[in-house]
Amino acid sequence: MKHVPKATTDEDLIQAFLDKGGEVKKGKTKPMPEGLGLSNNQWGNTLTKEEKAARKAHEEASKAAAKK
């Protein structure tokens, strides 16, 4: 089999897009809701009271360490 590269490669398509006035932007995402996370090894379950307390304590400890 012959391997003949096509005239339109990815780089050519990208360059044509940019030449026509296109621009590359970085997308924005929303942060995950506070109550959702990895709980009991399952995605999307709400955190238990103990897990919420542990997360809050960890965040407060890291803030206190950052201030020093």
CA 46 to chain centre: 20
H or E element that contains 35: none
Q: Where are the domains of the chain?
A: 33-68
What is the helix, strand, coil percentage profile of the chain, to 5?
Answer: 45, 15, 45
How many of the other CB atoms lie within 10 Å of CB of 17?
A: 12
pLDDT at 28: 82
pLDDT of residue 51: 82
User: N- to C-terminal Cα distance for the chain?
Assistant: 67
pTM, to two decimals: 0.41
**pLDDT in the model for residue 19:** 93
- Chain segment 7-58, per-residue pLDDT in tens: 666 788 888 889 999 888 888 888 777 666 655 566 667 778 888 888 889 9
What is the predicted pLDDT for the residue at 6?
67
